[in-house]
Amino acid sequence: MTIHQISLFLENKPGRLSAICRALTEGGVNIASLSLADTSEFGIVRLLVDRWEKARDILRGAGFGSNVREVVAVAAPDEPGVLAKILETVDAAGLSVEYMYAFAVARGTSARLVFRFDDTEKAVAALSAAGWKLLDEAALFA
């Protein structure tokens, strides 16, 4: 089970991030998570949204080149050591984490951990077999 993440390069200039958010707002797309990694000249924006196809079309129409990647979202308790346990499962399966980010739904209750793996299908199989709860897009917004 995977979810779709929109990724785009963004010039490191004032107003560029707000332009993305404004375009999605005007299109009625809700952002569940936004991650921004930057360098001196550009950044990489990663978005999880409620309607990824619509968001992709809106962003492209607004002049933002984007691509869609399949990522794995894991629902887990928001407590110390959970990420280490998930990574033990990943390590045992011989997987590499290309990148990840996380966010808490309600502090102390549950968190969402989003991973991009070198082998998505193998990751889904390993995490599912280990009993981790994987989320689809509907569950991400529930």
Q: What are phi and psi of 7, to 5 degrees?
A: -120, 140
Query: For residue 15, what is the domain's CATH number?
Result: 3.30.2130.10
Are residues 65 and 109 located together in one domain of the fold? no
Are residues 17 and 63 located together in one domain of the fold? yes
* Residue 106 or 62, more confident: 62
- Judge whether residue 62 has pLDDT over 70: yes
Residue 62 near residue 87, CB atoms below 8 Å: no
- Judge whether residue 65 has pLDDT over 90: no
Of the residues 42, 69, 96, the one at which a domain ends: 69
Residue 58 near residue 23, CB atoms below 8 Å: yes
Residue 83 near residue 100, CB atoms below 8 Å: no
Ramachandran class of 130: left when φ > 0, alpha when ψ lies in -120 to 50, beta otherwise: alpha
- Judge whether residue 83 has pLDDT over 90: yes
The number of domains in the chain is: 2
- Judge whether residue 41 has pLDDT over 90: no
Are residues 84 and 134 located together in one domain of the fold? yes
Q: Which domain holds residue 47?
A: 3-69
Read off the tokens for 88. 């033990």
Are residues 135 and 75 located together in one domain of the fold? yes
